[in-house]
């Protein structure tokens, strides 16, 4: 069996993999020969990925990220290639980031920072107790569940939203079907913080638009850490300008890097972070550890973790 990694191995990770899988050859791109038959590929090459799959008869691709919207899923399905996401790799980091944003909002840290720039000593008017607040999380997969676990000791109620309406965790006080919310079958009058951790699919593109955003009690706080394309930026800015969204914390954007002429930069109530919520200081070590567990499943003919459903797109 041969494994091709487009992610450079660090010494310790490669050593551990070789010790655990002595019969597996681990290759990097510069070691690849034209006639090599590769079972597994780690990572993705935007320009040459499909050629690698076809030329080397690759059966399984392990993504380095939880999101897989940048993969040609139709081609994967046609070629009978398994794709697994790195779901769960950075869920705890993202959850911690969301907790930071929620607590920051409860203390009006952004307003305090603006006052500090203007050398103004003023206690913010919008400080609140997060224990009194209700939160709704769109997307109840690995990241959504981690967020609910981290936030549950701090808030009053946590609601989940997904495509089925089925609970993925008992931490959610209730779970709703996203279609029912959009169609107006379910209404909310007591949601204080809306957290968007949805993946990007055909169905979720611009799902957070004027129609959906107006369904929440006003003003509310909006946190987006899933995929930027799930939010209609123009509609979001309109809601912030009207005051219907009190503060928007955006870590993902429709276009990254965020253009210098974007109107988002002009609004002090939109907090911008450069897609850092899931960053890991020791990414390669953590990633290869996740892959090692999946490779063991592959070698022992067990079900792989994080298999992407090509019909759903995640």
Band (pLDDT 50/70/90 cuts) for residue 158 is very high
At 231, give phi and psi (nearest 5°): -110, 130
pLDDT digits (tens, 9 = 90+) for 2-28: 999 999 999 999 999 999 999 999 999
Nearest to 13 by CA among 303, 314, 295, 275: 295
CB-based contact 264:233 (threshold 8 Å)? yes
Q: Is residue 287 over pLDDT 90?
A: yes
Residue 262: predicted pLDDT: 98
pLDDT digits (tens, 9 = 90+) for 21-70: 999 999 999 999 999 999 999 999 999 999 999 999 999 999 999 999 99
Residue 182: predicted pLDDT: 94
Nearest to 278 by CA among 110, 84, 67: 67
State how far the Cα of 286 lies from the Cα of 207, in Å rounded to an integer: 32
Q: Which CATH class is domain 90-272?
A: alpha beta
Q: Is residue 74 over pLDDT 90?
A: yes
Proportion of the chain above pLDDT 70, given as a percent: 100
Residue 153: predicted pLDDT: 97
Residue 26: predicted pLDDT: 99
Residue 189: predicted pLDDT: 86
State how far the Cα of 57 lies from the Cα of 112, in Å rounded to an integer: 57
205: CB partners within 8 A, 6+ apart? 229, 230
- Domain ranges for the chain: 2-88+281-300, 90-272
pLDDT digits (tens, 9 = 90+) for 166-217: 998 999 999 999 999 999 999 888 999 999 999 999 999 999 999 999 999 8
139: CB partners within 8 A, 6+ apart? 161, 162, 196, 197, 198, 199, 226
- CATH fold of the domain at 2-88+281-300: Rossmann fold (3.40.50)
Residue keyed to tokens 């949601």: 191
Proportion of the chain above pLDDT 90, given as a percent: 97
Average pLDDT over residues 85-99: 97
CB-based contact 135:111 (threshold 8 Å)? no
DSSP-derived letter for residue 235 is H
pLDDT digits (tens, 9 = 90+) for 241-257: 999 999 999 999 999 99
State how far the Cα of 242 lies from the Cα of 114, in Å rounded to an integer: 20
Residue 252: predicted pLDDT: 98
Q: How far, CA to CA in Å, does 246 sit from each of 238, 268, 275? A: 12, 11, 21
Question: Same CATH fold, 90-272 and 2-88+281-300?
Answer: yes
């Amino acid at each position: 069996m041969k494994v091709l990694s487009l992610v450079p191995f660090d010494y310790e990770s490669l050593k551990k993999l070789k010790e655990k899988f002595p019969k597996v050859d681990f290759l990097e791109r510069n070691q690849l020969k034209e006639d090599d038959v590769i079972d597994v590929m780690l990572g993705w090459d935007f320009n040459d990925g499909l050629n690698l799959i076809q030329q080397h008869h690759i059966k399984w691709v392990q993504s380095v990220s939880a999101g897989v919207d940048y993969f040609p899923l139709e081609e994967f399905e046609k070629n009978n290639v398994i794709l697994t996401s790195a779901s769960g790799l950075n869920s705890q980091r993202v959850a911690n980031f969301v907790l930071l944003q929620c607590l920051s909002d409860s203390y009006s840290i952004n307003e305090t920072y603006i006052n500090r720039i203007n050398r103004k000593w003023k206690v913010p008017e919008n400080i609140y107790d997060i224990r009194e607040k209700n939160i709704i999380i769109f997307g109840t997969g690995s990241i959504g569940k981690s967020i609910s676990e981290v936030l549950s000791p701090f808030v009053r109620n946590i609601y989940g939203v997904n495509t089925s309406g089925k609970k993925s965790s008992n931490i959610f006080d209730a779970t709703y079907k996203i279609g029912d919310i959009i169609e107006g079958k379910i209404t909310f009058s007591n949601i204080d913080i809306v957290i968007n951790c949805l993946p990007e699919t055909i169905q979720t593109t611009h799902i957070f638009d004027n129609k959906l955003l107006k369904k929440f009690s006003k003003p509310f706080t909006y946190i987006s850490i899933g995929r930027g394309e799930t939010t209609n930026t123009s509609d979001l800015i309109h809601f912030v300008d009207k005051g219907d969204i009190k503060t928007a914390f955006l870590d993902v954007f429709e276009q990254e890097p965020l253009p210098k002429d974007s109107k988002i930069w002009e609004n002090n109530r939109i907090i911008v972070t450069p897609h850092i919520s899931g960053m890991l200081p020791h990414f390669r070590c953590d990633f290869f550890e996740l892959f090692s567990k999946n490779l063991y499943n592959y070698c022992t003919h067990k079900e792989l973790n994080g298999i992407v459903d090509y019909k759903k797109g995640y």
